[in-house]
Structure 1
Amino acid sequence: MNKTYCPSLTEYKRRLSREVQLGDLPMGGLNPIRVQSMTTVDTMDTLGSVEQTLRMVEAGCEYVRITAPSVKEAQNLLEIKKELRKRGCNVPLIADIHFTPNAAELAARIVEKVRVNPGNYADKKKFDIIEYTDATYAAEVERIRERFRPLVQICKQYGTAMRIGTNHGSLSDRILSRYGDTPLGMVESALEFLRLCEEENYYNVVLSMKASNTQVMVQAYRLLVQKLDAEGLQPYPLHLGVTEAGEAEDGRIKSAVGIGTLLEDGLGDTVRVSLTEAPEAEAPVAKALIDRYTNRAAEAKPITPLAADFAAVVVNNAAIGQSETAAVAENDANLSPIDPFQYHRRATREVLNIGGQNVPRVMADLSRLPGLEYADLRAVGHLYSAFLDKFQMNDLGADYVYSGQRPIPFMLPNGLKEVVDFSAWVDGGQRPDHFPVFTQVEFATAEVRHPELNFVFHNLASLTEEALSQLHADATAVVILYTDNAHAMPEIRRAFFRLINKQITNPVIINRQYPVLTPEQTQLYAATDVGGLLLDGLGDGVVLSTELLLERSKEEWLQTLDQLNQLSFGILQAARTRMSKTEYISCPSCGRTLFDLQETTAMIRKRTDHLKGVKIGIMGCIVNGPGEMADADYGYVGVGKGKIALYRGQEVIKKSVPEEQAVDQLIDLMREDGKWIEPVVLEEPVIG
């Protein structure tokens, strides 16, 4: 199988795409990765749209997208553009089109770029299961091509760029009938339109593969690049985004997991972070993700190429032969021991409750926290009640705590396990309720180990043949894998590849330690580094830490520990590997939105955020309706002013519910399904 989807899995190399012109600000090619966002004001509100666009540009937005659901909104784009140019703002404008070819054809004469969704543009989306023969399928494709061709010709005539933007949730019935609800279906949906563009000698095209599910999103972009190369199509630039990411911390984490994973491998020419917040809030997040790669190639340390393990791969995997050998010189992605287009968790042995079929574990680093007390464990999700003299664990309770050289001086709550340095374990009498962590040298020379569970620190360089043999021989060993390379995620991934190639099945905890960064930077960087590995099925747990200044107060330490603990669980949730809280698939709002998305999302969250693992879609209009919340359990969708439709999965259950009653009826629907749980009220306030 050809696994090539990026320039390199070990070096930072940005994919060289075709340059596409948008007004005076080109994208792709050797241009910087661009930032874009989308207005939320009604497109018919000319001055409101202009004022919001100016605020977005001030916040760092380089391209501004505006919805044009009908011809009248498309026409008003001209007025918006005139007013912006009058005010000295030359930002390229993008018209967002879904169902209306006439609006697209008009907008293409006005703005610098149009975005079309191939699942909606002249195609059928009724959530029907339709059987297509080859003949009827081909006839339907030809009908769509004829409807699409005039837009291509207008764009070519006016020098207008086009984004063919596939969304996971809006694949047509025709595509679903043949490819299913899959990354391949997303890619083929776009390629049908792209092939017509090339037939018309029109190449001013950008592509996107958006999904709310980060696994699907990453797999689709990778597969798109592989298919473009395989078919000999142009290397079109990529617009990256996780659609319906949500709000606040969860939205930022999910965006970083999806977008950051692709940026790490040099993919992406423009980025939009879709938050259920004011659009001005999106650009700084996108810029923070992008800026991490400005000097990445210069800052990165060399990573041992995959070819170094190739001889072992040939011996251990009979499926690899001469064709793959020839591919080594072309791209190291072909040597990857995993399938980059489909999720498979790395097979590991179970050690206590780590690895095997267990969910990934969260370890909290308490080794530098001064004067630890019962109440301090609240920072890692274990709440102590002095009145009841017992702990209560919430759904974000850490599984392990690392105390280093200072073992915790009191009994821990049930379910929480303590990890100490090997020397502290020996000095403390080798307590069976403490689990030692070794350096690689200590592990190799130690005369005694814990009979159930032993942790050992490793990086790529320390995974020598001797070290791998020691791991293979010890069924109690769990690796804590770290790196100090600026090109962190690819180096840790490379270490995983070595373990897989050598058939080492010990579980691995991913350890990332960051210098003094802002909480926002730590959030985005950790979500990228850890999330990118989890999406490929790599990792049985996570431990995050930061280099905090020693003069910080205990409360500041506790606040940071709380943030890191929540971040760890947030990353696992965003990567779909451990569901510990409610997931909200909420769109970022636009001019089509029929209610206040931010206020409504906050209200629904307040009532439902205790429902562990339940996924709720909150969509402002039917365009972003049942399709965009493709894998949600329940949906709350605007269908008119003050009117809401409630969904179970993709099936509408209640239509035109008055907005003031909709949340209560949504909860009633969950009760009917046995999914509703009353929120727990503590018997007395938790101390600390």
Structure 2
Amino acid sequence: MNKTYCPSLTEYKRRLSREVQIGDLPMGGLNPIRVQSMTTVDTMDTLGSVEQTLRMVEAGCEYVRITAPSVKEAQNLLEIKKELRKRGCNAPLIADIHFTPNAAELAARIVEKVRVNPGNYADKKKFDVIEYTDSSYAAEVERIRERFRPLVQICKQYGTAMRIGTNHGSLSDRILSRYGDTPLGMVESALEFLRLCEEENYYNVVLSMKASNTQVMVQAYRLLVQKLDEEGLQPYPLHLGVTEAGEAEDGRIKSAVGIGTLLEDGLGDTVRVSLTEAPEAEAPVAKALIDRYTNRAAEAKPIAPLAADFMAAVVDNAALGQSGTATVVTPDADLSPIDPFQYHRRATREVLNLGGQNVPRVMADLSRLPGLEYADLRAVGHLYSAFLDKFQMNDLGADYVYSGQRPIPFMLPNGLKEVVDFSAWQDGGQRPDHFPAFTAAEFATATARHPDLNFVFHNLASLTEEALGHLHADPTAVLILATDNAHAMPEIRRAFFRLIDKKITNPVIINRQYPVLTPEQTQLYAATDVGGLLLDGLGDGVVLSTELLPERSKEEWLQTLDQLNQLSFGILQAARTRMSKTEYISCPSCGRTLFDLQETTAMIRKRTDHLKGVKIGIMGCIVNGPGEMADADYGYVGVGKGKIALYRGQEVIKKSVPEEQAVDQLIDLMREDGKWIEPMVLEEPVIG
């Protein structure tokens, strides 16, 4: 199986793509990774669109996308462009097209780039399953190609670039019937259009594979790169994005999990972060993700390529008198022990509630918190009531706390487990309710271990043959795996590959420690580093920590702990590995939106954010309706001015519900399905 989808799994190298000219600002090739966003103002509002575009450019947006749902909006792109150029703004404009080839053909004569969605450009989605013979399928593909050909010819004539942008939620019935709801279907949907572009000698093309599900999104981009190479097609630049990421912290975490995972492997030439917020809020997040890689190659410490382990295996075989040869140099990715195009969780033994079939666990680092009291555990999701003298855990309650050299001086709430350094465990009388954490050297020589669970700190360098032997021999051992390499995610992944190669099945807690960063930097970096591993099925838990300046107060420490705890759960949810809260699949709004998306999302969140694990799609129009929220449990979709359609999955249940009644009726629908629970109200105040 050809697994090669990036230049290297261990060394930071950007994929060298074809340069595409977009106005006066080229992308791909050796150009920097570009930032893109999309206006939310009605395209017929010329001055509103211009003012918003100027704010976006001021915020760092380099390409501005504007929806053109019909010919009249496409025509008005000319007026918007004239006014922008008059004001000295030369940012390339991109027309966003759905369903309307005639609007695309007009827009291609005006703007610098058009975006088409192959799922609904001369194709259709009615959720029908269609039986095709090879000949009838080929005939349908040819019909679509002929409808697409005029746009290609116009773009070629006018020097207009094109993005062929596949969306997971809007795959056509034809593609779904042939390939299923899969990353392969997404890739094939784009390649059908791309093959025609190459036949017409038109190469000014950008590709994207967007999805709200981060696992699907990452798999599709990887598979696209592999298929381009396999078919001998041009290495077209990639536009990265997670659709309907949502708002605030959740939207940023989800975007970083998907986009950051690909950036780590050198994929991506332009980035759009889709937030249910004002579009000028998107560019700084995209830039923060991109800037992390500006000096990555120079800052990274060398990581041994996978071929090094392969060569070691050959030497071992030779020593045993077995055949083995290393005459063929195999690409690094082809030696990967995992399938990069399909999710499989690493097989591990179960140790208490870690590994096996357990969800990944969250560990909170309290080792530097001074003077810990009952109420302080609220920062890690365990709420203490002094009146009732008992704890109450919320859905974001940490599973473990690491106290290091300072064991917690009081009884912990039921279900919360404490981890202490080995020396503190020994000095404290080897308490059965404390679990020791060893260094690799301590673990190798220790004569006393906990009978049920022992943690061992490791990094890639410490995973020697001897250390692996100790882990293999102890069914109670769980690794806490860390790195100080700037190229962090690939180094930890490399350590996982060594464990898999040596058939070590001990569970692993991913440990990421950050220097003094802004809360948003920590959020984005941790979501990238940990999320990228989780998407590949690697990791049975997470512990995050960050440095604080010595003069920080206890309150500031608690605030940081609370942020890190919520971040840990947010990353697990964004990677689809542990659902601990309501998930909102909400689009970022555009000129097609039929209601105030930010206000409506906030209102729905206020009423429903206590529903653990329920997924709610909130879409501004039918374009981003049942398809884009493909795996949501319920959907809230604008279908007209002041009118909402409510969905159960992909099935419309209520049509044209007045907007002022829609949230109540959405809740009634959940009640019918037995998925609604009343929000819990604490009878007594919680201290802390």
Where 2:325 maps in the other structure, the secondary structure is helix
Query: Structure 2 vs 1, CA of residues 29 and 678 (structure 1 numbering), >3 Å: closer, same or farther?
Result: same
- Tell me the alpha carbon deviations over residues 140-175 of structure 1, each in whole angstroms, 9 at most, x when there is no partner: 100000000000000000000000000000000000
User: Quick check: 1:245–1:586 contact (8 Å CA) kept in 2?
Assistant: yes
User: Quick check: 2:314–2:324 contact (8 Å CA) kept in 1?
Assistant: no
- Tell me the alpha carbon deviations over residues 292-348 of structure 1, each in whole angstroms, 9 at most, x when there is no partner: 000000000000111111146679999999999889635200100000000000000
Give the corresponding residue for 2:21. Answer: 21
Where 1:584 maps in the other structure, the secondary structure is strand
| Structure 1 residue 470: Cα displacement | 0.3
Q: d(CA) in 1 for partners of 2:453 and 2:427?
A: 18
Give the corresponding residue for 2:649. Answer: 649
Query: Structure 2 vs 1, CA of residues 211 and 323 (structure 1 numbering), >3 Å: closer, same or farther?
Result: farther
| Structure 1 residue 222: Cα displacement | 0.1
| Structure 1 residue 521: Cα displacement | 0.1
Give the corresponding residue for 2:169. Answer: 169
Give the corresponding residue for 1:345. Answer: 345
User: Quick check: 1:36–1:272 contact (8 Å CA) kept in 2?
Assistant: yes
Give the corresponding residue for 2:506. Answer: 506
| Structure 1 residue 683: Cα displacement | 1.1
Where 2:420 maps in the other structure, the secondary structure is strand
User: Quick check: 1:276–1:588 contact (8 Å CA) kept in 2?
Assistant: yes
| Structure 1 residue 644: Cα displacement | 0.1
- Tell me the alpha carbon deviations over residues 106-126 of structure 1, each in whole angstroms, 9 at most, x when there is no partner: 000000000000000000111
- Tell me the alpha carbon deviations over residues 421-477 of structure 1, each in whole angstroms, 9 at most, x when there is no partner: 000000000000000000011001111000000000000000000000000000000
Please list every run of 5 or more consecutive structure 1 residues that lacks an aligned counterpart in the other structure.
none
**1:1-12 paired onto structure 2 within 5 Å:** 1-12=1-12
Q: d(CA) in 1 for partners of 2:131 and 2:534?
A: 36
Q: d(CA) in 2 for partners of 1:98 and 1:312?
A: 53
Where 1:431 maps in the other structure, the secondary structure is coil
Q: d(CA) in 2 for partners of 1:648 and 1:271?
A: 32
- Among all aligned residue pairs of Structure 1 and Structure 2, give the percentage whose two residues are the same amino acid: 95
| Structure 1 residue 195: Cα displacement | 0.1
Q: d(CA) in 2 for partners of 1:673 and 1:90?
A: 52
Q: d(CA) in 2 for partners of 1:57 and 1:321?
A: 65
Q: d(CA) in 1 for partners of 2:321 and 2:156?
A: 46
- Tell me the alpha carbon deviations over residues 226-254 of structure 1, each in whole angstroms, 9 at most, x when there is no partner: 00000000000000000000000000000
User: Quick check: 2:219–2:341 contact (8 Å CA) kept in 1?
Assistant: yes
User: Quick check: 2:380–2:565 contact (8 Å CA) kept in 1?
Assistant: yes
User: Quick check: 1:313–1:501 contact (8 Å CA) kept in 2?
Assistant: no
- Tell me the alpha carbon deviations over residues 43-97 of structure 1, each in whole angstroms, 9 at most, x when there is no partner: 0000000000000000000000000000000000000000000000000000000
- Tell me the alpha carbon deviations over residues 262-288 of structure 1, each in whole angstroms, 9 at most, x when there is no partner: 000000000000000000000000000
Q: Quick check: 260-269 or 542-551, which moved more?
A: 542-551
Query: Structure 2 vs 1, CA of residues 316 and 41 (structure 1 numbering), >3 Å: closer, same or farther?
Result: farther
Query: Structure 2 vs 1, CA of residues 658 and 128 (structure 1 numbering), >3 Å: closer, same or farther?
Result: same
Where 1:325 maps in the other structure, the secondary structure is coil
User: Quick check: 2:307–2:330 contact (8 Å CA) kept in 1?
Assistant: no
Give the corresponding residue for 1:318. Answer: 318
- Tell me the alpha carbon deviations over residues 624-672 of structure 1, each in whole angstroms, 9 at most, x when there is no partner: 0000000000000000000000000000000000000000000000000
Query: Structure 2 vs 1, CA of residues 68 and 500 (structure 1 numbering), >3 Å: closer, same or farther?
Result: same
Q: Quick check: 619-628 or 543-552, which moved more?
A: 543-552
| Structure 1 residue 2: Cα displacement | 0.3
**1:287-686 paired onto structure 2 within 5 Å:** 287-311=287-311, 329=329, 331-686=331-686
| Structure 1 residue 132: Cα displacement | 1.3
User: Quick check: 1:594–1:620 contact (8 Å CA) kept in 2?
Assistant: yes
Query: Structure 2 vs 1, CA of residues 63 and 495 (structure 1 numbering), >3 Å: closer, same or farther?
Result: same
User: Quick check: 1:455–1:478 contact (8 Å CA) kept in 2?
Assistant: yes
Query: Structure 2 vs 1, CA of residues 422 and 26 (structure 1 numbering), >3 Å: closer, same or farther?
Result: same
Q: d(CA) in 1 for partners of 2:551 and 2:283?
A: 34
User: Quick check: 1:456–1:479 contact (8 Å CA) kept in 2?
Assistant: yes
Query: Structure 2 vs 1, CA of residues 313 and 605 (structure 1 numbering), >3 Å: closer, same or farther?
Result: farther
Q: d(CA) in 2 for partners of 1:248 and 1:616?
A: 16
User: Quick check: 1:34–1:271 contact (8 Å CA) kept in 2?
Assistant: yes
User: Quick check: 1:43–1:73 contact (8 Å CA) kept in 2?
Assistant: yes
Q: d(CA) in 1 for partners of 2:162 and 2:228?
A: 17
Q: d(CA) in 2 for partners of 1:560 and 1:281?
A: 23
Q: d(CA) in 2 for partners of 1:680 and 1:660?
A: 25
| Structure 1 residue 130: Cα displacement | 1.2
**1:3-152 paired onto structure 2 within 5 Å:** 3-152=3-152
Query: Structure 2 vs 1, CA of residues 188 and 314 (structure 1 numbering), >3 Å: closer, same or farther?
Result: farther
Q: d(CA) in 2 for partners of 1:69 and 1:592?
A: 7
User: Quick check: 2:317–2:324 contact (8 Å CA) kept in 1?
Assistant: no
- Tell me the alpha carbon deviations over residues 563-614 of structure 1, each in whole angstroms, 9 at most, x when there is no partner: 0000000000000000000000000000000000000000000000000000
Q: d(CA) in 2 for partners of 1:318 and 1:125?
A: 57
User: Quick check: 2:43–2:76 contact (8 Å CA) kept in 1?
Assistant: yes
User: Quick check: 2:317–2:323 contact (8 Å CA) kept in 1?
Assistant: no
Q: d(CA) in 1 for partners of 2:310 and 2:57?
A: 49
- Tell me the alpha carbon deviations over residues 394-418 of structure 1, each in whole angstroms, 9 at most, x when there is no partner: 0000000000000000000000000
User: Quick check: 1:241–1:258 contact (8 Å CA) kept in 2?
Assistant: yes
User: Quick check: 2:168–2:210 contact (8 Å CA) kept in 1?
Assistant: yes
Q: d(CA) in 1 for partners of 2:316 and 2:587?
A: 46
Query: Structure 2 vs 1, CA of residues 474 and 315 (structure 1 numbering), >3 Å: closer, same or farther?
Result: farther
User: Quick check: 1:328–1:335 contact (8 Å CA) kept in 2?
Assistant: no
Query: Structure 2 vs 1, CA of residues 673 and 313 (structure 1 numbering), >3 Å: closer, same or farther?
Result: farther
Query: Structure 2 vs 1, CA of residues 521 and 442 (structure 1 numbering), >3 Å: closer, same or farther?
Result: same
Q: d(CA) in 1 for partners of 2:8 and 2:612?
A: 38
Where 1:429 maps in the other structure, the secondary structure is coil
Q: d(CA) in 1 for partners of 2:128 and 2:675?
A: 27
User: Quick check: 1:313–1:320 contact (8 Å CA) kept in 2?
Assistant: no
User: Quick check: 1:129–1:177 contact (8 Å CA) kept in 2?
Assistant: yes
User: Quick check: 1:440–1:456 contact (8 Å CA) kept in 2?
Assistant: yes
Query: Structure 2 vs 1, CA of residues 330 and 674 (structure 1 numbering), >3 Å: closer, same or farther?
Result: same
User: Quick check: 2:352–2:453 contact (8 Å CA) kept in 1?
Assistant: yes
User: Quick check: 1:324–1:335 contact (8 Å CA) kept in 2?
Assistant: no
Q: d(CA) in 2 for partners of 1:422 and 1:177?
A: 57
Q: d(CA) in 2 for partners of 1:457 and 1:353?
A: 19
Q: d(CA) in 2 for partners of 1:65 and 1:571?
A: 29
Q: d(CA) in 2 for partners of 1:422 and 1:9?
A: 35
Query: Structure 2 vs 1, CA of residues 592 and 324 (structure 1 numbering), >3 Å: closer, same or farther?
Result: farther
User: Quick check: 1:312–1:501 contact (8 Å CA) kept in 2?
Assistant: no
Query: Structure 2 vs 1, CA of residues 204 and 41 (structure 1 numbering), >3 Å: closer, same or farther?
Result: same
User: Quick check: 1:36–1:283 contact (8 Å CA) kept in 2?
Assistant: yes
Q: d(CA) in 2 for partners of 1:217 and 1:315?
A: 39
Please list every run of 5 or more consecutive structure 2 residues that lacks an aligned counterpart in the other structure.
none
Query: Structure 2 vs 1, CA of residues 85 and 662 (structure 1 numbering), >3 Å: closer, same or farther?
Result: same
User: Quick check: 1:20–1:237 contact (8 Å CA) kept in 2?
Assistant: yes
Q: d(CA) in 1 for partners of 2:322 and 2:117?
A: 41
User: Quick check: 1:122–1:144 contact (8 Å CA) kept in 2?
Assistant: yes
TM-score scaled by length of structure 2: 0.98
